[in-house]
Amino acid sequence: MRFANFLLGAIAVLPTAVFGQLSGKVGPSTSVATKTAKKTCNVLNYGAKADKSTDLGPPLASAFAACKTGGTVVVPSGNYAMKTWVTFEGGKAWALQLDGVIYRTGTAGGNMLFIRNTNDFEMFSSNGKGAIQGNGYELHAQGSRSGARLLRVEKSQNFSVHDLILVDAPAFHLVFSTCTNGEAYNMAIRGGDWGGLDGVDIWGDNIWIHDIMVTNKDECVTVKSPSKNILIENIYCNWSGGCAMGSLGVDTAISKVHYKNIYTWKSNQMMMIKSNGGSGYVEDVTFENFIGHGNAYSLDIDQYWSSMSKLEGNGVQLSNMTFKNWKGGMANGAQRGPIKVACADSAPCTDIKITDLSMWTETGSKQIYSCRSGYGSGFCLKSGTGKSYAATTSTQTAAPTGHSAASMKDDLKTAFGTTVSIPIPTLPASYYPGVAPHSKIAGS
């Protein structure tokens, strides 16, 4: 199992307390070498063929049945078709090694690969080329987003997913649902330029998401309720919807979340907290070291989000939130400034801290800051606590010092559409300017 060691900038197994917001160890309890030594179940021995025609679903299910109590299921290099989906129910101390490419050929909804109620699990590619090609464009071109998610892990613990590539999901790409002690890293996710094609959605306890690149037009890496002890770092939102929390609903319960080293290019926002009515809380969260270029919104708290229907309740209570060290620029600061804090009038935000935010518009020569019913320190926030207040705005007409920020060499020149196949990328060497991944990229 693994810890986040930020002093060394690397991975180490430590006997003492963890750093960041994690509450303990994450990842599988036993190594792949141990699992493989016990048993190996190669799908080719169960009827699979790397001919991009034979359905991989039944052989994969059979291989899992043979290795679910301890062992490694192997999908070797090659191209495989998948017409029927596989649910990996239960299992303990097993791994799924995907070194080939799985091409979706089935049309059902649900989840292509669904890992549920498992313990001590690892899904990975040993060569860094393992991928799932969802061919979502075939459905998207017809106006449909009702197809399958590529990979869902649910009600599982002590696991990791890494060194994989997920492409063009008919619906979502990667979902961690009600999981504990999980980790995802060294991944590239590439989807169509359309809402509803989420990159990474997570809710659970003690989850570490790091070194992941996402291209799509919806969630980059998003935390949903209920969640606590979540650490998200070294994230590359490369022409995406951007990172977010929400949509927040009734009885929201999110705490101890840390976003760190987030690079966002040509996205809807750098970070959005979105709700409309509802109840519950989001507290004790930090958003630090954000770099943005060419995005619409930057820091966007919107508790009147018009894309969701208003829910019962006075609003989700936001408190003890820190935003620090944000650099770069936004597409048009006069239209969408670097700070928009629109808190619920019936549940004003408290203890919101914005420090060392230095961003400047990439169009024109002015930008606006807007705050409503938000209390704390920095920019247009009011100090202390109090009642609701109407939105107040201020205009900045000179570029702040220190706003310049590095760019990434893999920034896309254009988005991927929804009517043609999206190519399978390679894993990038870095996911945040000047920062190496915590673990070596497989195959590098």
Other CB atoms within 10 Å distance of the CB of residue 364: 11
- Local structure of 138: helix, strand or coil: helix
- β-bridge partners, 290: 262, 326
* Torsional class of 384: left (φ above 0), alpha (ψ -120 to 50), beta (otherwise): left
- β-bridge partners, 371: 341, 392
Round to whole Å and give the CA distance between 240 and 117.
31
- CB 95 within 8 Å of CB 123: yes
- Local structure of 65: helix, strand or coil: helix
Other CB atoms within 10 Å distance of the CB of residue 118: 22
β-strand pairing of 3-5 with 10-12 = antiparallel
| Chain centroid to CA 234 | 11
Round to whole Å and give the CA distance between 358 and 377.
15
- Name the residue among 17, 3, 233, 33 with its Cα closest to residue 122: 33
| 223 phi and psi angles, rounded to 5 deg | -100, 130
Token pair 């059979």 is found at 62
DSSP 8-class letter at 443: T
Q: Which amino acid is located at 311 in the chain?
A: L
Round to whole Å and give the CA distance between 52 and 72.
23
End-to-end C-alpha distance for the chain, whole angstroms: 23
Give the max Cα distance, the chain: 68
Tokens standing for 172?
């979502």
Active site residues: 218, 293
Q: Which amino acid is located at 16 in the chain?
A: T
Tokens standing for 16?
């003492």
Burial readout 141-177 (b: 16 or more C-beta within 10 A, e: otherwise):
eeeebebbbbbbbbebbbbbbbbbbbbbbbbbbbbbe
